[in-house]
Amino acid sequence: MVITTALVPGAPAPKLIEASAVEAMRSGSVIVDLAASNGGNCALTKLDEEIVAHGVRIFGHSNLPSEVAVHASQMYSRNVETFLAHLVPEDALKLDLEDELTSGPLLTHAGEVVNERVRDLLAKPRGRGGR
């Protein structure tokens, strides 16, 4: 079983599983593509459909978490807890800016916007009404 979740804000989901990789998988394998609403991480994902390709079942629900809300909430809270434990390993905040898990989601640090994508978005002129 493969569960994909890769999303890039404001962009199509990156293709992580090509059609050739699905074809090479064992019959009976399962792909749950949680990025289906943004195009999917699997090249064969069909939005809001369950398909079988080369013997592999591919789930492309656009909002699977809403169908399993309790479990999604538990998973989210576990992820937040694990992330916070990573940032505070010994009762003190540790921001290792060389660590991808720390620097990736970091938007600002020391009074500066450090996330390149956010910095670029802030620099773009907006339509009527300003920023």
* Domain residue ranges in the chain: 2-65, 68-123
pLDDT for position 130? 54
Distance CA 73, CA 90 (A): 26
pLDDT in tens, 13-63: 999 999 999 999 999 999 999 999 999 999 999 999 999 999 999 999 998
Given CA atoms 103, 105, 107, 110 in this order, what sign does their dihedral have?
A: negative
* Cα atoms found within 13 Å of the Cα of residue 90, Cβ hemisphere only: 0
Distance CA 25, CA 54 (A): 8
* Token pair for 14: 């990156």
109 with 95: CB under 8 angstroms?
Answer: yes
Kindly tell me the burial class for residue 76, based on how many C-beta atoms sit within 10 Å of its own C-beta (0-12, 13-18, 19 or more).
Answer: exposed
> Is the confidence at residue 3, as pLDDT, over 70?
yes
| Distance from the Cα of residue 131 to its chain's centroid | 27
**Regarding the domain with residue range 2-65, which homologous superfamily does it belong to in the CATH classification?**
NAD(P)-binding Rossmann-like Domain (3.40.50.720)
User: Please, what is the Cα angle at 128 between 122 and 129, to 5 degrees?
Assistant: 70
> Is the confidence at residue 88, as pLDDT, over 80?
yes
Nearest of 75, 7, 16 to residue 45 by alpha carbon? 16
* Token pair for 94: 């540790």
Q: What rounded mean pLDDT belongs to the chain?
A: 91
